[in-house]
Amino acid sequence: MPGCERCEEGGHASPAEFEAYTAAIEKQPYHPSTWIERAKYLNKDGFYELAVGDCYKALILCTPAKRKTEWSDLNDMALWRIIARKALVENLIDACNYMHAISFAQFEDGSIYSILSNEYRAKLDDGVAKHKANMESPNPRPSNPRMFRHRFPWMQEFLTRSEGCLKNVRKLFAEADLILSKSIVCPDDPEVLGVFASRDFANGEAIFVDQTIKVEYPKKTDTNRSYEWLLAHFLNIFANEVKAGGDSAKTFHPLRFEPMALLTTTYSAKGTNFRFQNHIVDMYDVLAERGIAFHDLRFDYWVIFTVLWRIETNNWVRDVKNEEGVYEEKWTGTAPRFSFFNHSCEPNIWWGVENEGESMKLLAEKKIKAGEELFVAYFDDLSEPVNVRKMRGKGWFGVVCGCERCLRESEELEAGVDKEKVEDLKEAAEQGEESMGQDMLEGEWLKWPFPE
């Protein structure tokens, strides 16, 4: 939010330390102290949202109606409730989530605010004052703090796609006369893969059909919330896998579930805004309603956030007409194999969804020769000036778009081609970047092409 200073990178947490705190939770999951101790560790390393999640669980354990343990000393519980609320308030302040912090600090008799340190009181007062000033300004900005995407030090095994998953993808692509190989976009980075044609394709010819995981939601919902609809849908799927029982359920992990394991995160791009209610409370409730124990650490908050960031990087959205032909709903989803197709501002592949959004179809948009890499457009308005398009791509790539068209048009612009348009392009780029900065905070920048 305005005036909120956050470090983009977390610290250098030791995986062994994290595992030690996590082991303590596994040993004593029903006492708030183990969650609060791990929250202190996470806070120290800058993972404030994770610390908020642990403190929220600690607070739940201090609520008599939600207790599921033999611990029944109400005086002890009342003391821990104060400790847990204070820890939650402090971590919400550090996460720049001031309005939720003040609501918890002033809850009941306001005792939490009175026992905060002078430093935390000052930060909270300043944050609330800036929030009110922002909301009273002629053009208020979104007030939720940005949530940075992290490669958590303890998740090394989940940072890259497994060879087993890639083997399955290569087999499916081979059956469609496609090859998965290093992309020409980043030839020096072996982790950046692309899809290539192994034979010639005619204009309009079907290239590939991928199965999607999608959910419907009201059209008026902003794009940030569409991520949360899809996140909740994935959590339901994960819960069903666990509840199915058997050996597969025992070894199940959300980040190894193939439709999720095939997706990656653009860590250099900033994620969505952090919303305590939506990201902490609602996702806890989704899992609880599906019978997932709060201490099942396969669904730890770092796992939930990693799933969210993969959704942000890879999801698609489509407006849907009702029977009267009016757009009143949207579909949003992911297509795991589709995620291997890279972006270009002059794509050779068109894509859309069919079968009620359950499948995604890719068609050749022009003649394609064997050996060519296949590209799609990640946003629909490709008529924008090059400087605007380059910045628009940052939402996915974390860097400005470097496709052949953008490189070519940038060189022409720098060389003075169409000099009379240079000032117009610069002005358009400045306006576009400014508006995109606002739109991306609101989540409205994610637009995808769906020709009728």
Confidence of residue 192 (pLDDT cuts 50, 70, 90): confident
Q: Using one digit for the tens of pLDDT, what is the confidence trace for 369-407?
A: 999 999 999 887 888 888 888 887 776 777 788 889 998
The whole-angstrom separation of Cα 446 and Cα 396 is: 10
Q: How many helices (H) and strands (E) does the chain have?
A: 17, 10
Neighbour-count burial of 403, counting CB atoms closer than 10 A to its CB (0-12 exposed, 13-18 middle, 19+ buried): buried
Name the residue with tokens 């508006």: 435
Tell me the mean pLDDT in the region 208-224: 79
Residue 39 burial (CB count, 10 A): 28
Q: Write down the CATH number for the domain with range 1-145.
A: 1.25.40
Report the predicted TM-score, pTM, of the whole model to 2 decimal places.
0.85
The mean of the pLDDT values for the chain is 84
pLDDT bin (cut points 50, 70, 90) of residue 444 is very low
**Looking at residues 80-86, what average pLDDT do you find?**
93
Task: Give backbone dihedrals phi and psi of 142, rounded to 5 degrees, phi first.
Answer: -55, 135
Max Cα distance, the chain (Å): 79
Give the start-to-end residue ranges of the domains of the chain.
Answer: 1-145, 384-446
| Residues facing residue 364 across a β-bridge | 349
| pLDDT for the residue numbered 151 | 93
d(CA 124, CA 82): 18
Predicted local confidence at residue 10, as pLDDT = 55
Percentage with pLDDT > 90 across the chain: 53
Res 446 pLDDT > 60 = no
The per-residue pLDDT for 320 is 73
